[in-house]
Amino acid sequence: MLNFRQFEAGPDPFGRKYRVLLQWLQTAISIRHADTVDVKFRLTAEDNTHTAKTIALPHADLLAVSQAMGRPMDDAWCGRLAALHLGELVRTGEDMEKDLVTVLRPGLERHARELAEAERQAVGG
């Protein structure tokens, strides 16, 4: 999940795949007075129906995970974490009825490890 701006997710439990496009990434303090980084995606199903999902990444947990992983917390990393979580939501069908989904710390840690492994493999190590 190195490209979080545009990717394919799925299949979902019903066999559907989605084209996913990043709409925006911003701190939620400015839009809903929450201490999160919000990442909004637009999903288009194979039948051309559209939906949007906002993945909320709690700031305190992001800081803790980035420090534990020894990596900076930047927009690209947050976007990739959110995209990994969105992919998980699509595959499992869990929380797909929600427009806003907050990732709990264990999920952030799992996605961060997954991303670190993908980055290691991408550089050949």
pTM for the complete prediction? 0.92
Residue 18 · residue 45 · CB < 8 Å: yes
Element (H, E) at 20: strand 18-27
Q: Residue 15's pLDDT is what?
A: 95
For residue 49, what are the contacts with CB-CB under 8 A and spacing of at least 6? none
CA distance 65 to 125: 22
Quick count: other Cβ atoms within 10 Å of Cβ 33? 7
Q: What is the pLDDT of residue 3?
A: 85
Count of CB atoms situated within 10 Å of the CB of 116: 13
**pLDDT at site 28:** 74
Tell me, rounded to whole angstroms, the distance of Cα 113 from its chain centroid. Answer: 14
Mean pLDDT by 10 residues, the chain (125 residues): 87 96 88 86 96 96 96 95 97 96 97 93 80
Model pLDDT, residue 125: 60
